[in-house]
Amino acid sequence: MSFQSNQALHELYINCQGELEAVLFARVRCRETSADICQEAFMRLCRTDDLGSIGNLKAYLFRIALNLLVDHYRSQAVRVAVSAEWNDDEPPETEDHRCAETVALGEQELDRLIDALAALSPLCQRIFYLNRFEGLKQREIAETLNISIRTVEENIKRALIHCAKTLDNA
């Protein structure tokens, strides 16, 4: 890492660390968690190969931190769901509802869904993926792809209607 990159990161840390922690704290309401996420965001930024290619380091840092926050929420949701399933020392006994027919039908339906998504425009596919699989909000998608929120909304609607029609017609 060059001296200029080190200097830029140092200045960014001095100028933005408090603000970033405050933004994170407003969302998680835990000082330790917000400090941990902030530190991890700076660490990931430090590991970036070419900082010179990033136009706005502050925006990039905040995007890293918000992605880490989403990861934090996901991991918390999994922990809560797993701990809610059983309270004693033994895991709950579950029946295996899988059978060859159920698996085959599920695979066929998944194939139809994949085909339905493939029939959409690349932009519509990307928007749908960011929303449904990455968990980004419409405003975040619009900012990421540099398009209007209305375009994001219309494409999500288009994808959902198309997938529903494709699965209903099967």
Q: Over 80: is that where the pLDDT of 99 sits? A: no
User: Residue type at 45?
Assistant: L
Helix, strand, coil abundance in the chain, percent, nearest 5: 80, 0, 20
* Domains with residue ranges and CATH for the chain: 3-79 (no CATH), 115-168 (1.10.10.10)
Q: Which two tokens stand for residue 87?
A: 């309270």
pTM over 0.75: no
Q: Over 70: is that where the pLDDT of 92 sits? A: no
pLDDT over 70, % of the chain = 84
User: Residue type at 57?
Assistant: L
How would residue 154 be classed by pLDDT, with cut points 50, 70 and 90?
A: very high
- What are the helix and strand counts (H, E) for the chain? 7, 0
